[in-house]
Amino acid sequence: MHVFELGFVAAVLLAATPILYASLAGAISAQAGVFNIALEGQMLWGAFAGVAGSYLTGSAWGGLALAIVTTAISSVVLAVGAARWNADPIIIAIGANLVAVGLTGFLLRVLFGVSGTFAPTGLQGLPKMAFLADVPVIGPIFAGQTVLVPLAFVVIVAVGLWLRSTPAGLRLRGVGEHPEAATTLGIGVSSYRMWTVIVAGALCGVAGAQLSLGNVTVFTENMTAGRGWIAVAAVMLVSSRPLWLPLACLGFGAAEALGFRLQGIGAPQQLTDAAPYAITLVVLVLTRIRFTRRRDAVLSS
Amino acid sequence: MTIAPTPLPPTVEPAGSQDRGLRRALGVALRHPVVVPVGAVIVALLIGAVIMLSAGLNPLEAYSAVLTGALDPDSLDYTISVWGFICGMAVAAAIPLRMGEFNMGGNGQMVLGGVTAAVIAGQLGLPGILAVPLAVVGAVVVAGAFGSLSAPLATRFGIPIIISTLLLSPVAVAVVSYLVRYPLAEQGSAVAQTPRLPADARMPGLGDFSYSTWGLILIIAVMVIFWLVDSRAAVGFELRTVGANRRFASYGGVRVGRLAFGAMATGAAAAGLVGAIIVLSPPYRLIDGALTSPGYTFAGLAAALLAGGRPALIPVTSILFTVLQVGGAAMERTADVPRQLSDVLQGVVIVVLALRTIIDQRRTERSSA
């Protein structure tokens, strides 16, 4: 029973990690004042580039590097468009997500000659932390995970603290909250935004690589399956505050892991697939009810 | 005579003014509203060509395969029916887009309409005269109600419509998929699908067409109504005012929340209509995934964006995405270019459209200077 519970914790962490990285990307973009809904497509591209890189270089780290670099490069369009040219980030992101779906499917056929699923023999996945296997409690949870799983929490805390208590973090928040005021202080609003969106792209690359080389070792068309949208919802849920993201993302991870468990005992897959979205929406509404109540209370007092 | 030393300026003058005139003419031409969408399409086609060239494929062959595949007289009937569906989904996206909102839940709204039509026409045993109209009305009502959920979520709880539609849509798709697989499934069939509709509960065919039905006429009627309301009715004006400046509109007395409710309800109703028509048309049943997998929703969204939400342009921009969609399959068959290239081109058109602000920005800079 004990092992079963720790196994469930491990499954929750595994499901939550890609969403953690992607939602961190969304949160820093939102803090800088860019509504970034390109997470889904960028994560999908990261997943593809991770597998392609691992296949071509023979090393999963090569895959991770390719995912980070190419996803960051692909986010330049959104970065420059939204930050420098005042284009609508929503429309760019809708287009970019479509391009990601199309281009990954296209390249899968052109480069590797397969469609649907790409799992060549010998494809290197990111190494698991097997050396932890004998440690009690930590072992069963982390031994089967990649180093990116615990790293997600470290990165989120670091970014959260950076935003909260460094001058650069303060400037970034200022850029999002009141761009005119930031400009009068001599802060380059558009370059802050641009670099934030590019860093967000790199984080989505990590999210995608973890999905395709960590959670599994395969690329399937459209394998992100809406995780990017859940990440966007997570950003809303925590009002873009990174330090709260683990709570929200572990909730989603639990919903997904629970869905797998329920499927195992015979629940129809369609309904467990829908659960994370429905739960996300319900939680979003519940937090907003509390929020509006509090606001009403303040207004009426 | 002292005029002698002035032959130089006149030769420069006309050249300069001619140049300026040309530039002005070019400026006027560039400001024509057609330039941006056409330019976006051309840029997308060029980028597609670069992608194909770098993959060692022949872009000319691919594009001509797209055109001939989509406009082949033998399959033109099929192309026209797809055009109808994409137009319908474009209306579903365009009505909320008029007020600056994004309806990303077309898939969910469409399958709900489809399953409602399948139940009403297929399971209730209604007489033929009633079955089809009731199925259409039911689909429109159910999908409209589902879509309108997003409006109170936005106005009461501050959840943007783009997010709530995105989260609601997969839930509806999953529920419908479950219904088609289990309670509504055709017994003994290997494919997840509902039984074929009874012969008198089918959408009547349109002349000699084998794919297109009266559903196409319904969709055209919807587009005409949208155009009339948008250009002639007060509600259409309110929609556009909110789209242009939300705060100004609400100062002017427009009830934005109610308008959002109506826009989402009617947009989703259009999506539900498309779902119903697909189910009531050949092969007269709801097959799991058959409504969502062709990608009508995003093709429609792309067509709506390319048209800038303008009702009169939707039929035109829908032609482009229909050609891409239908021709994509032909391109895969004859030119061996994966049909996913169609998605890439659609996406690039949208991105380029969004980036058109560079032109707008230069324009305003010049006019304010």
For residue B349, give the chain A residue with the closest CA: A95
Q: Which pLDDT score, from 0 to 100, does residue A52 have? A: 93
pLDDT digits (tens, 9 = 90+) for A95-136: 999 999 999 999 998 888 888 888 888 788 888 887 787 777
Q: Does B347 touch chain A (CB under 8 A)?
A: yes
Q: Kindly state whether residue B288 falls inside one of the protein's structural domains.
A: yes
Q: Which residues of A touch B47 (CB under 8 A)?
A: none
Q: How far apart are CA A60 and CA A40, in angstroms?
A: 22
> According to the 3-state scheme, what is the secondary structure of chain B?
CCCCCCCHHHHHHHHHHHHHHHHHHHHHHHHCCCHHHHHHHHHHHHHHHHHHHHCCCCHHHHHHHHHHHHHCHHHHHHHHHHHHHHHHHHHHHHHHHHCCCCCCCHHHHHHHHHHHHHHHHHHCCCCHHHHHHHHHHHHHHHHHHHHHCHHHHHHHHCCCHHHHHHHHHHHHHHHHHHHHHCCCCCCCCCCCECCCCCHHHCCCECCCCCCCEHHHHHHHHHHHHHHHHHHHCHHHHHHHHHHHCHHHHHHCCCCHHHHHHHHHHHHHHHHHHHHHHHHHCCCCCCECCCCCCCCHHHHHHHHHHHCCCCHHHHHHHHHHHHHHHHHHHHHHHHCCCCCCHHHHHHHHHHHHHHCCHHHHHHHHHHHHC
Residues of chain B with pLDDT > 90, as a percent, come to 36
Confidence of residue B59 (pLDDT cuts 50, 70, 90): confident
For residue B101, give the chain A residue with the closest CA: A90
Name which of B164, B181, B343 is nearest A102 (Cβ-Cβ).
B343
Q: Which pLDDT score, from 0 to 100, does residue A298 have? A: 57
Q: Is the pLDDT of residue B290 over 80?
A: yes
Identify which has the larger pLDDT, A52 or A10: A52
Q: Kindly state whether residue B12 falls inside one of the protein's structural domains.
A: no
Domain assignment of residue B212, given as a range: 76-314
Is there a contact between B167 and A280 if contact means CB atoms under 8 Å apart? yes
Q: Is the pLDDT of residue A175 over 60?
A: yes
Is there a contact between A77 and B351 if contact means CB atoms under 8 Å apart? yes
Q: Which pLDDT score, from 0 to 100, does residue B17 have? A: 61
Is there a contact between A274 and B175 if contact means CB atoms under 8 Å apart? yes
Interface of B with A in 11-70 (CB under 8 A): 51, 55-57
ipTM: 0.86
Confidence of residue B362 (pLDDT cuts 50, 70, 90): low
Residues of chain B with pLDDT > 70, as a percent, come to 91
Residues of chain A with pLDDT > 70, as a percent, come to 95
Average pLDDT estimate for B328-356: 86
Q: Which pLDDT score, from 0 to 100, does residue B10 have? A: 46
Domain assignment of residue A195, given as a range: 6-243
For an interface test with B, which of A281, A287, A294 has the most B Cβ atoms less than 10 Å from its Cβ? A281
Q: Kindly state whether residue A266 falls inside one of the protein's structural domains.
A: no
Q: Does B341 touch chain A (CB under 8 A)?
A: yes
Q: Kindly state whether residue A84 falls inside one of the protein's structural domains.
A: yes
Q: Which pLDDT score, from 0 to 100, does residue B124 have? A: 82
Q: Does B183 touch chain A (CB under 8 A)?
A: no
Least confident segment among A265-279, B146-160, B213-227: A265-279
Confidence of residue B1 (pLDDT cuts 50, 70, 90): very low
In the predicted model, what is the mean pLDDT of chain A? 86
Q: Is the pLDDT of residue A287 over 50?
A: yes
Average pLDDT estimate for B278-302: 89
Distance of residue A232 Cα from the nearest chain B Cα, in angstroms: 8
Q: Which pLDDT score, from 0 to 100, does residue B266 have? A: 95
Q: Which pLDDT score, from 0 to 100, does residue B369 have? A: 43
Distance of residue A73 Cα from the nearest chain B Cα, in angstroms: 15
Q: Which pLDDT score, from 0 to 100, does residue B315 have? A: 94
Q: Does B164 touch chain A (CB under 8 A)?
A: yes
Q: How far apart are CA B55 and CA A98, in angstroms?
A: 19
Is there a contact between B171 and A278 if contact means CB atoms under 8 Å apart? yes
Confidence of residue B12 (pLDDT cuts 50, 70, 90): very low
Distance of residue B236 Cα from the nearest chain A Cα, in angstroms: 23
For an interface test with A, which of B166, B169, B175, B348 has the most A Cβ atoms less than 10 Å from its Cβ? B166
pLDDT digits (tens, 9 = 90+) for B18-57: 677 777 777 777 777 777 788 888 988 999 899 989 888 8
Residues 6+ apart with CB under 8 A from A140: A3, A6, A7, A10
Q: Which pLDDT score, from 0 to 100, does residue A187 have? A: 81
pLDDT digits (tens, 9 = 90+) for A226-280: 889 889 988 988 888 888 888 888 888 888 888 888 888 877 888 888 888 888 8
Q: Which pLDDT score, from 0 to 100, does residue A1 have? A: 43
Q: Is the pLDDT of residue B221 over 90?
A: yes
Q: Which residues of A touch B163 (CB under 8 A)?
A: 229, 232-233, 236, 284
Q: Is the pLDDT of residue B368 over 60?
A: no
Give the total number of structural domains in chain B.
1
Q: Which pLDDT score, from 0 to 100, does residue A209 have? A: 94
Distance of residue B142 Cα from the nearest chain A Cα, in angstroms: 19
Give me the residues paired with residue A219 across strands: A118
Closest CA to A102 of B68, B351, B275, B304: B351
Q: Which pLDDT score, from 0 to 100, does residue B225 have? A: 94
Contact A57, A290 (CB under 8 A): no
Is there a contact between B355 and A285 if contact means CB atoms under 8 Å apart? no
For residue A89, give the chain B residue with the closest CA: B354
Show the tokens assigned to A53: 């890189």
Is there a contact between B157 and A92 if contact means CB atoms under 8 Å apart? no
Q: Which pLDDT score, from 0 to 100, does residue A199 have? A: 93
Q: Kindly state whether residue B98 falls inside one of the protein's structural domains.
A: yes
Q: Does B297 touch chain A (CB under 8 A)?
A: no
pLDDT digits (tens, 9 = 90+) for A185-219: 888 888 888 999 999 999 999 999 999 998 888 89
Provide the H-helix boundaries in A59-147: 60-74, 76-83, 89-112, 138-142
Q: Which residues of B touch A81 (CB under 8 A)?
A: 351, 354-355, 357
Show the tokens assigned to A255: 């919903």
Confidence of residue A295 (pLDDT cuts 50, 70, 90): low
Name which of B160, B178, B348 is nearest A270 (Cβ-Cβ).
B178
Q: How far apart are CA B222 and CA B214, in angstroms?
A: 13
Locus of tokens 């006309």? B14
Is there a contact between B305 and A87 if contact means CB atoms under 8 Å apart? no
Confidence of residue B361 (pLDDT cuts 50, 70, 90): low
Q: Kindly state whether residue A289 falls inside one of the protein's structural domains.
A: no
Distance of residue A128 Cα from the nearest chain B Cα, in angstroms: 32
Q: Kindly state whether residue A252 falls inside one of the protein's structural domains.
A: no
What contacts 24+ positions apart, CB below 8 Å, involve A176-184?
A176/A30, A176/A31, A176/A32, A176/A33, A176/A34, A177/A33, A179/A33
Q: Which pLDDT score, from 0 to 100, does residue B157 have? A: 86
Q: Is the pLDDT of residue B250 over 90?
A: no
Give the total number of structural domains in chain A.
1
Interface of B with A in 317-336 (CB under 8 A): none
Q: Which pLDDT score, from 0 to 100, does residue B62 have? A: 87
Q: How far apart are CA B337 and CA A222, in angstroms?
A: 19
Distance of residue B127 Cα from the nearest chain A Cα, in angstroms: 33
